[in-house]
A and B are shown apart, each in its own frame.
Chain A
Amino acid sequence: MENVNNLRNQLTKTITRPIEKIVKLFITASAFGAILVSISIIFTLLTEAINFFQDPAVTFKGYFTATRWTPTFQNPEYGVIVLISSTLYIAVIACLISFPLGLFSAIYLSEFATKRTRKVIKPVLEVLAGVPTVVFGYFALNWITPNIIQRFIPGTGVFNALSAGIAVGIMIIPTVASISDDALNAVPNSLRNGSLALGATRRITSLKIMFPAALSGIIASFILGFSRAIGETMIVTIAGGQYPELNLDPRSAMYTITSSIVNVSLGDTPHGTTAYNALFALGITLFIMTFILNIGSDYVARKYRKEYE
């Protein structure tokens, strides 16, 4: 009995371990802090956007059907379709550049490159991902436009959708390449061996076996790349121009959601005006677009993970 009591005393809580508690509190606060910040961002966007739509000059119908975005003009028009179409247009150009190049780099890295080449190329790709987008913006404006676009497509303006789209495309190549590379690497090596053992060449093995097996991961990388292209701000603001009317000519300037947000917020638009509140309507529009794409990419990636369990 005495032994039991002794043991009980030894096992009784005597030390309070304050650092354990502080650390736990701090970690918990950080985790919930992130959620809190997200919620408050959505809340701010929503309330200001609601203010925007309460202005009698603004209608839902006009927001989605007008073909000009001129909130600071004498007779303002709020045709978000101008901005959405420009955004998607530039994003599509970016995807035309980044999907093939990113995917081919990934196939090269995972299927053909030796370990040594891989060791060189992967970090270089990651450096590309680390270049600040403002640099890509001026690269597009001062190099791609005069040296490539204006040389081969005469009549192109200084600000144009093509140049901005190409630069955004270059910017997202590492995203596409890196996630596609992960997807290809996640395919069991046994499939590669199985194919090669049947007398398939490396080319057939990578295109007919590895690529389809990694397809959902590759699609996820495409969706994420597309979502990054839509949200890209600096490049399109610098090189894409601010043409406020609906147009689909790649040689002309365009006006994306993000660059119009930048322009209004940099200008002297007073707080509380409808033009100012329009920013938040745009913000939530953009948020919904990228949110849907991210969920889609997550869904595809999750589906893909199930396949080999």
Chain B
Amino acid sequence: METKETVQVNNESVFNVTDLSVSYGDFVAIKNVNMDITKNKITAFIGPSGCGKSTLIRTFNRMNDLILGAKVNGTITYQGVDLYDKMVDPVQVRRRIGMVFQKPNPFPKTIKENITFGLKVNNMTDNIDDRVEKALTQAALWDEVKDDLDKNALELSGGQQQRLCIARTIAVEPDTILMDEPCSALDPVATKKIEDLMQELVKEFSILIVTHNMQQASRSSDYCAFFTTKTSDDGKRRTGELVEFNETSVMFTTPDKELTEQYISGRFG
């Protein structure tokens, strides 16, 4: 594609976040975030509501651009390229960094069209049937829908809809998938399926996931970032901050910070 002048700063990390803060108008949603996101690993963002995890994950594919008044300070580099450089086209960014949302949001079209839409947008119209099959297979949905590809996607169950959304995201061959609480609208069985799927996908993609579910983070992530909210002195403003960023196994057994330990053990949040 057009902008393939990537500089490999670090083979291991896909994103480097430096002094990042995001604000909406006067309201600072999250500030002072520094982290490196490792390639082909699952990185989970956890923390109480309002701590800015969803805001943060949306900066990785510039979805925050769509919110009026949203402003990003600091830098995020993606494979060495500053994502917020003036010359960077957010449309090209989103073609490489896919996103799965909190509520399944299939298009009101057929199952097949849900996949082919992204393929057409990205000019990937060669072998389109193979690509559809591959994506649905990777998303562990093929066997359930292979005979109903022309059925309206809204007729699928919630879990199937979410796997369809994952399928349409991976069909366009991104290298990173952002997941914003992908299981919060799903039952435990469907959640389990998505978690298993993530373990398969991480072989090929880097995955960032926001989750409210502590078990989910401990079960399925390799790295974990814990955020919390700090209330300003006058008590009026709450701003999200990164408390601890660590390997998941370390964070859930011997966290560095007292606050993390309290949150994980359920004594707060």
Contacts and interface: CB of A to CB of B under 8 A. Distances in A.
B101 interface: yes
Interface string B55-99: 000000101001010000000000000000000000110110011
Interface stretch (B115-123, B140-148, B207-215, B241-249): B115-123
Interface in A172-188: 188
Interface string A239-262: 000000000000000000000000
Interface in B245-269: none
Contacts of B107: 191, 194-195, 209, 213
B172 A190 contact: no
Contacts of A212: 108-109
Contact of A307 (B61, B118, B154): B154
Contacts of A195: 107, 117
B238 interface: no
A244 B51 CA distance: 73
A194 B164 CA distance: 12
Interface in B102-137: 103, 105-109, 117-118, 121-122
Interface in A183-204: 188, 190-191, 193-201, 204
A199 B94 contact: yes
Interface residues of A, number: 21
Residue among B94, B95, B168 with max Cβ neighbours from chain A (10 Å): B94
Nearest to B171: A198
Given A204-B121, A212-B108, A198 B98 contact: yes
Residue among A200, A201, A212 with max Cβ neighbours from chain B (10 Å): A200
A201 B63 contact: no
B63 A199 contact: no
A200 B63 CA distance: 12
A198 B168 contact: yes
B38 interface: no
Contacts of B168: 198
Contacts of B108: 191, 212-213, 307-308
B40 interface: no
A115 interface: yes
B239 interface: no
A195 B109 CA distance: 13
B169 interface: yes
21 contacts: A188-B105, A191-B108, A193-B66, A193-B99, A194-B101, A194-B106, A195-B107, A196-B63, A196-B66, A197-B99, A197-B101, A198-B94, A198-B121, A198-B122, A198-B172, A199-B95, A199-B122, A200-B117, A200-B118, A212-B108, A307-B154
Interface of B: 61, 63, 66, 68, 91-92, 94-95, 98-99, 101, 103, 105-109, 117-118, 121-122, 154, 165, 168-169, 172
